[in-house]
Amino acid sequence: RPTAGRHAFDEPATYQIQIEGVLLPVWSARMEGMEIVVTVADDGSPVTTLTGHLSDQAALAGILSQLYSM
């Protein structure tokens, strides 16, 4: 989700993606340099948050595709 306002599909934006489970910070380079932080949810399960500035929604789609394939 874009963090502020509406953006055109071809404009840079900052995104935050949360996934269940652990994604190690060494994956940051493959995730367009997004910061990777692992926390623990209220139920004790790990949650990974990726935060970063992406050049466009094509870059976002690439990251989502990589996460889906994992």
DSSP-based three-state secondary structure for 8: coil
* Structure token pair of residue 52: 């970063």
Residue 7 has pLDDT above 90, yes or no: no
Looking at residue 21, its amino acid is G
- For 25-69, what is each residue's pLDDT tens digit? 898 988 999 999 999 999 999 999 999 999 998 999 999 999 999
pLDDT band at residue 10 using 50, 70 and 90 as cut-offs: confident
pLDDT of residue 70: 86
Please choose, from the candidates 15, 31, 29, 16, the residue with its C-alpha nearest in 3D space to the C-alpha of residue 70.
31
pTM: 0.81
Residue 24 has pLDDT above 60, yes or no: yes
Cα–Cα distance measured from residue 45 to residue 57, given in angstroms and rounded to the nearest whole number? 29
Cα–Cα distance measured from residue 47 to residue 63, given in angstroms and rounded to the nearest whole number? 17
Can you tell me which residue has the tokens 């399960």? Answer: 45
